[in-house]
Amino acid sequence: MKPKKAVTLLTRIETLLSDALDEYSVIEKHVEKNVRAVLLSAQASVASAIDFISALPSSGVRQKAAKSRKGRRRPLKAKSKAKSSVRAKKRPAAAAKKRS
C-alpha cells in the first residue's frame, strides 16, 4: 500500500475513534470503564503509525523502474502476428498490380 493512502486511511480511523470517544462520554455510565482506556490506546497507536509512515522516505527506486518500463513496446499477441503476416504477403502482390 502506498504511504499516502495508508496515512489517509489511518486518519479516517483516528477520526472515527475520536468520535467514538466523544459518544462514549455520554454512555459511559452504562458501559465498563476500561472501554475508554482501550479506545484511547487505539487512538494513540494510530497516531504513532501515522507519524511512522509519514517519516518514511519516498520510494524513488520503484517510480524510476516504472518509468523505464513505460516506454517499452509490448510484444504482439498471436492474433496480431497472424494478421500482420497475411498483410505482409499481400503487400508485394498489391505493389506489383500498381506497377503494371
Total domain count for the chain? 1
The string of pLDDT tens digits covering residues 44-85 is 999 999 999 888 876 655 555 556 656 666 666 665 555 666
The string of pLDDT tens digits covering residues 13-46 is 999 998 888 887 777 666 666 777 888 899 999 9
Assigned domain for 65 exists: no
Task: Quickly list H helices, 32-77.
Answer: 34-55, 60-70
Assigned domain for 30 exists: yes
Residue 34 to residue 22: CA distance in whole angstroms: 15
Query: Containing domain of residue 93, as a range?
Result: 3-58+76-99
The answer, as to whether pTM is greater than 0.75, is no
